[in-house]
Homo-oligomer: A and B are copies of this chain.
Amino acid sequence: MKIALAQLNYHIGDFKKNIKKILHAIQRGENNGVDLVVFSELTISGYPPRDFLEFNDFVDECNLAVEEIAKACTQTAAIIGLPTYNHNAKGKPLFNSAAFLTGGKVQSLTHKTLLPNYDIFDEYRYFEPNTSFTVIKFKGKKIALTICEDLWNIQDNPLYILNPMDELMPEHPDFIINIAASPFNYKQVAIREEVLRKNAVKYGLPLFFVNHVGAQTELLFDGGSLVMNKAGEIVDEMKFFEEDFQIYTLEEIANVSRKNHLERPTEIALIHDALVMGIKNYFGKLNFNKAILGLSGGIDSAVTSVLAAKALGNENVYNVLLPSQFSSSHSVFDSLQLVENLKMRYDIINIEKAYDAFDYSLKPYFKGLRFNIAEENLQARIRGVILMALSNKFGYILLNTSNKSEAAVGYGTLYGDMNGGLSVLGDVYKTQIFELAKYINRHNEIIPENIITKPPSAELHPNQKDSDSLPDYAILDKILFEYIEQRKGPKEIIALKYDEVLVRRILKLVNTTEYKRYQTPPMLRISQKAFGMGRRMPIVAKYLS
């Protein structure tokens, strides 16, 4: 039996484009004598469709589409994900389903049993869990068809009571298929492999895993679909961050062991590629191709600019230098070196004239008061206004250049440097950005060395350094990681031998600046706990603040 895995990049709600892509893959399968083409979870709608699922019109479109696609499945069968209606009197209105298409029609629907409802997942908001189990019989074989999380109640996961594979085993399936939309984080590739391996080994069955690929706003799907033999060895692994289509012969899987060439990229390489895909898809799916950003001379904007250039082409990144009287000469010099290295477009627009105009208008009200955060923010906001004016005039999308460390402690100006359609580095700690810069420079110096080595500064008052008001990033990032990713409380973090006063100060900064993060652009998610849809905090609260 020949099985093809179609790892494709869907556009949520773009039924026409998604259907075309699916039909093309089925045709490709048919041309190659494939028996079954397997697609990822919620293929037709794209994942996650979120509250579009509350519109019957949207769900109807998905169900009309699957009927149309089924007609193409005469020679080659297909397994395709889509939302379907729950026709029972009770329960949530939908199922998260996998349709088995053969003989020109929808032969059966398999519904998802384990519905993730943590972090970025909201599946219990829409879907009723499945409670009945049966294998799919196809050309003399029995398929255990599962949907993403269905394989994740393996051994030590306390969240779920049912285990779909345990329910299917009495029917003696020949192999497992898992269709997924498993979003990337830099730990996820290894975790996912381990979960799949445990399933293959526990049930002694070969396993075909098809993942979604591509960015859906902040969520990055890395692909990496794979085939495992019943010993849990990877027979083949598909591309990361790119569409792919591979054909496997079931009978051969049993006899092939782990390929020698299976070399995984490093964590930092995965992060790099994930971010590039995130920018590329954000622009591409919105039908934009040009980015604008403010180049400050610091490492965050430099890395953002390089990633944008890789995603969109050097010629499509417009770097604007916006110096003030507080900008150091090396900031401009270093920035010019960077744009020169990549032959990117740039302009220098001094903000002093606009600053003086506001200063004049505000003088009657600010009379006798000291230069403080108000004037610092004013500079950041003038930059924001200029960048948005250029963005509006020429149809660029403004990229936000803030990092996770400063987003966490609220070290940024709302409506100023926090502006942007997309935050590229909002889930990347400052210490990781240094690693990214080194990775970018691994073959030659793209980012000028001085940008990497000089002390970070917002340059909003004379001789300002980040270290004036924040601890070293090496310590800050570790404490933030314990609090944000690990969800440890103050007592647990202090027990790790961090200074108590410092820990409480940092946690207070995080909790009192929630209002700022509420208004930030979507941040490309590369960690296990990113700001945004996966971290839901009240603004008006008094915990640790």
Contacts and interface: CB of A to CB of B under 8 A. Distances in A.
A393 to B, nearest CB: 4
B357 A353 contact: yes
The interface centre, meaning the residue of A365, A535, A545 with most chain B CB atoms within 10 A of its CB, is A365
B540 A282 contact: yes
Given A14-B543, A356-B357, A377-B392, 10 more contacts: A14-B542, A49-B541, A55-B489, A58-B489, A90-B158, A281-B540, A349-B362, A354-B354, A519-B519, A522-B539
A24 interface: no
Interface string A356-379: 111011100110010011110110
B385 A490 contact: no
A273 B538 CA distance: 22
Contacts of A350: 361
27 contacts: A13-B543, A13-B545, A50-B538, A52-B537, A55-B487, A58-B543, A89-B158, A90-B161, A92-B159, A117-B124, A349-B362, A349-B365, A350-B361, A353-B360, A354-B358, A365-B390, A366-B393, A373-B392, A378-B389, A381-B385, A381-B415, A382-B385, A388-B414, A415-B419, A421-B515, A519-B521, A522-B539
Interface in A2-17: 11-14, 17
The count of identical subunits is 2
A216 interface: yes
Q: Which 6 A-B pairs have the closest CB atoms?
A: A57-B489, A13-B543, A14-B542, A357-B357, A374-B392, A374-B393
A105 interface: no
A122 interface: yes
Contacts of A540: 11-12, 215-217, 281-282, 285-286
B489 A56 contact: yes
Interface of A: 11-14, 17, 46, 48-52, 54-58, 60, 89-93, 117-118, 122, 124-125, 158-161, 215-217, 281-282, 285-286, 347, 349-351, 353-354, 356-358, 360-362, 365-366, 369, 372-375, 377-378, 381-382, 384-386, 388-390, 392-393, 414-415, 419, 421, 487-492, 515, 518-522, 533, 535-545
Contacts of A377: 388-389, 392
B13 A285 contact: no
Contacts of A49: 538, 541
B361 A543 contact: no
B542 A57 contact: no
Contacts of A12: 538, 540-543
B386 A358 contact: yes
B388 A362 contact: no
Contacts of A361: 349-351, 353-354, 386
A113 B44 CA distance: 34
Contacts of A54: 487
A296 to B, nearest CB: 17
Given A216-B540, A521-B519, A381 B388 contact: yes
Q: Which of A12, A93, A124, A385 has the most CB of B within 10 A?
A: A385
Contacts of A362: 349, 386, 389-390
A78 to B, nearest CB: 23
Nearest to A16: B542
A378 B385 CA distance: 7
Contact of A543 (B52, B386, B421): B52
Given A349-B361, A357-B357, A522-B518, A91 B161 contact: yes
A217 B389 contact: no
Nearest to A397: B515
Q: Which of A55, A374, A415, A545 has most chain B Cβ within 10 Å?
A: A415
A503 B491 CA distance: 55
A371 to B, nearest CB: 10
A48 to B, nearest CB: 7
